[in-house]
């Protein structure tokens, strides 16, 4: 299966770049390792990119979940900050 999201570097020191190219409206949600939602952003169809900085200090694991506008999960990726 081809990945929709490109996340790099992973593992990361302080921030990651996220890129995805989709044909529909999407929502990117970010969760910590305990399942607490840290953020949610809506995106338009097409190529999207953003940078995400580690909100904590030190090592952490986050989950980036890309969903369509109806809430259907398209992809989930784990990001490790060292």
> Do residues 27 and 42 lie in contact, with contact meaning Cβ atoms separated by under 8 Å?
yes
Closest by CA to 68, choosing from 15, 2, 4, 1, is 4
Which parts of the chain sit beneath pLDDT 70? 1
Name the strands in the sheet holding 37-43, side by side, starting at the edge strand that comes first in the sequence. Answer: 37-43, 26-32, 60-68, 73-81
Report pLDDT for 36.
96
Q: 38 phi and psi, to 5 degrees?
A: -100, -20
pTM for this prediction: 0.91
Report pLDDT for 1.
61
Closest by CA to 64, choosing from 2, 3, 5, is 5
């Amino acid at each position: 299966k081809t990945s929709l999201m490109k996340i790099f570097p992973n593992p990361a020191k302080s921030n990651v770049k996220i890129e995805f190219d989709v044909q529909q409206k999407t929502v990117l949600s970010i969760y910590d390792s305990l399942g607490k939602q840290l953020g949610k952003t809506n995106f338009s169809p097409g190529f999207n990119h953003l940078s995400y900085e580690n909100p904590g200090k030190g090592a952490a694991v986050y989950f980036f979940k890309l969903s369509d506008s109806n809430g259907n999960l398209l992809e989930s990726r784990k990001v490790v900050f060292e």
